[in-house]
């Protein structure tokens, strides 16, 4: 925006832009929620307690490809990149262009690949980046509000792309995701994190 355009901007837009800048990633997350409330499903990113508990069972030394669905503003991306081996890759997939543009602008790690698309297309997305299988897939998707058929398609595609011994890591406010997972994963561990807005359920579906 040029200086002249800035001077001509109406005060409500100026005010909104200032609030968004002050709120940082939370402001971007909220803006994404206001545009697509059903697809985002939460007004606040996950807590550090949820992140630590969800990632605890991951064997990082065996992880070459970590995939994340619904990264939002990257709440999990930084902690994953901190733990990922130097020759690993993190592919994140989100349907919201606001979030993908934000991630491209703020995370410059060469192992990080943000993709605008749907988690249902995970197989072709990882193939396009030279992978046959993923070691771990993490999901923050709001399974209970996804359009009909999408949750089922995502659970099936995820089971297909995981290598044996890999896991589907899922956090959600409701148990909806577990029902989709149970159609494909015979071994599912469950947990709960109260220190999150809202408190959330955690699932680890292990591929046989
Ligand atoms: C609850 S937010 C995730 C928040 C973030 N991971 C965190 O921990 O704070 C859900 C995200 O899923 C994305 N999303 C919804 N449907 C999707 C789909 N089919 N494929 C990929 N991303 C999707 C939304 O755009 C949003 O970024």
For the residues of 15-26, what is the DSSP string, one character each? HHHHHHHHHTHH
Atom 27, ligand 1: residue with shortest CA distance: 72
Contact 100, 162 (CB under 8 A): no
Cβ-based neighbours of 8, under 8 Å, separated by 6 or more: none
> pLDDT tens for residues 99-136?
999 999 999 999 999 999 999 999 999 999 999 999 99
Cβ–ligand 1 distance for 166 under 6 Å, the answer: no
**Which of 141, 158, 176, 201 gets mutated to test ligand 1 (max ligand atoms within 8 A of its CB)?**
141
Tokens of 68: 């994340």
Which domains, from first to last, does the chain contain? 40-206 (3.40.50.150)
Tokens of 11: 């005060």
What three-state secondary structure class fits 55? helix
Contact 168, 204 (CB under 8 A): yes
Expressed in angstroms and rounded, the spacing between residue 95 Cα and the centre of ligand 1 is 7
Spatial separation of the C-alpha atoms in residues 183 and 201, rounded to whole Å: 18
Expressed in angstroms and rounded, the spacing between residue 127 Cα and the centre of ligand 1 is 21
> pLDDT tens for residues 48-75?
999 999 999 999 999 999 999 999 999 9
Q: Please state which of the ranges 13-17, 67-71, 85-89, 97-101 shows the lowest mean pLDDT.
A: 13-17
> pLDDT tens for residues 21-55?
666 777 776 777 777 776 666 767 899 999 999 99
């Amino acid at each position: 925006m040029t200086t002249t355009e800035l001077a001509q901007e109406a005060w409500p837009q100026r005010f909104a832009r200032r609030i968004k800048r002050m709120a940082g990633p939370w402001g971007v997350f909220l803006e994404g929620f206001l545009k697509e409330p059903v697809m985002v499903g939460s007004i606040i990113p996950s807590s550090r307690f949820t992140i630590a508990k969800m990632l605890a069972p991951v064997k990082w030394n065996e992880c070459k490809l970590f995939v994340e669905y619904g990264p939002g503003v990257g709440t999990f991306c930084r902690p994953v990149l901190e733990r990922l081996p130097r020759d690993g890759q993190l592919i994140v997939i989100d349907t919201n262009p606001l979030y993908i543009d934000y991630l491209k602008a703020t995370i410059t790690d060469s192992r990080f690949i943000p993709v605008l698309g749907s988690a249902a297309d995970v197989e072709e997305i990882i193939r396009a980046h030279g992978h046959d299988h993923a070691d771990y897939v993490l999901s923050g998707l709001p399974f209970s509000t996804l359009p009909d058929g999408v949750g089922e398609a995502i659970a099936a595609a995820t089971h297909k792309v995981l290598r044996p011994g890999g896991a589907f890591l899922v956090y959600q406010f409701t148990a909806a995701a577990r029902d989709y997972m149970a159609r494909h994963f015979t071994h599912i561990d469950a947990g709960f994190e109260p220190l999150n807005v809202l408190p959330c359920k955690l699932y680890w579906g292990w591929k046989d």
